[in-house]
Amino acid sequence: MFGFNRDKSKADKGDTGQPDEQKPGLFTRLKNGLRKTRRGITAGLAGMVVGKKQIDDELLEELETRLLTADMGVEASQAVINNLTDRLKRKQLKDAQALFAALRENMLAILQPCEKNLAVADKQPFVVLMVGVNGAGKTTTIGKLAKKLQNEGKSVMLAAGDTFRAAAVEQLQAWGDRNKIPVVAHHSKADPAAVIYDAMQSAHAKKVNVLLADTAGRLHTQSNLMEELSKVKRVAAKFDPDAPHEVVLVLDASIGQNAINQAKQFHQAMGISGIVLTKMDGTAKGGVIFAIAKQLRLPIYFIGIGESIDDLRAFNAEQFVDAILSQEDDTDSEPT
């Protein structure tokens, strides 16, 4: 089969707590998580080339349609197709393998500039403000990220800054209880800026490494939310002029191109320093990550490909592209 198959001995390392014969490897889980998007872009593409003497414009048109359907966006899709068309004219696309290799190169060129780790600086506390609309998976992402940081040996505190949604406070407290992480919360409808300021004071006094602050997630089109978030940022800066040290936007990949509009408005209001793209496993619109990278050029810290802690993955452009272009049949079957 055509496509890119990573070295299993390297790609599948990682301990999920299951016996070796039962646990899927890290790269396999990534491929499974991106199954719907992969099928939309590459399923049957190699088969269309079989029997053809050469790649032609008709095949590239079909590929462009697939990229657009996966919500890769017009700008990113055209950049890829224009490059492939130029290679075709220079007779550099002689077969399916050459096509996939060129496609991989183009995809990496879009994504690699946005590959960046969330680096926790030596601050006490290092304040990460998490923003995004309701339903994007923000509170769950905070819980998973807190556990990851804890596993790396860092002390963590959570701030329940979404005071307008009682369930958000309860959900955050549940994560705190589960992982023995302190949570600072006020009463319902309290001033979010006051909650986060108090949390910063507490974290500083207790010498906590990282403070993860939840925020309200009402519609991004509402100016009062953006004003509220700006106030939170200003109040945090009164305690520490450099705070918040990160403003991380959580986006739901399943909403496709609407994620671009959300990102632009949050970035304009807050100055986003990085992105987490969630729910990649439940959508065929995972191509939106290319549109985000091409249009916004913001760091992508994590992607979410499932429900477990391990499924909040540090974004790796090469692994992501190889998973999208993989043609292995054994991971294309539906999980039982």
pLDDT value at residue 255? 94
Rounded Cα distance between 203 and 186, Å, is 16
pLDDT value at residue 15? 38
Nearest by Cα to 106 from 290, 276, 280: 290
pLDDT value at residue 51? 60
Name the pTM for this structure: 0.88
pLDDT value at residue 50? 64
Rounded Cα distance between 299 and 9, Å, is 29
Which ranges of 90-191 would DSSP assign to H, the alpha helix?
96-111, 138-151, 166-179
Q: pLDDT tens digits, the chain, 336 residues: what are they?
A: 344 444 433 333 333 334 333 446 788 989 999 999 998 888 767 667 766 667 889 889 989 999 999 999 999 999 999 999 999 999 999 888 889 999 999 999 999 999 999 999 988 999 999 999 988 999 999 999 999 999 999 999 999 999 988 788 999 999 999 999 999 999 888 999 999 999 999 999 999 999 999 998 876 556 788 888 899 999 999 999 999 999 999 999 999 999 999 999 899 888 999 999 999 999 999 999 999 999 999 999 999 999 888 899 999 999 999 999 987 654 444 333
Return all residues near 50 (Cβ < 8 A) that are at least 6 apart.
Answer: 96
- 151, 144 contact by CB (below 8 A): no
Strand partners, 158: 183, 212
pLDDT value at residue 42? 80
pLDDT value at residue 166? 78
Q: Residue for token digits 């974290």? A: 203
pLDDT value at residue 242? 95
Which DSSP string do the residues of 166-178 spell out, in sequence order?
HHHHHHHHHHHHH
E-strand ranges in the chain read 126-131, 156-159, 183-184, 210-213, 246-252, 274-278, 300-304, 312-314
pLDDT value at residue 332? 40
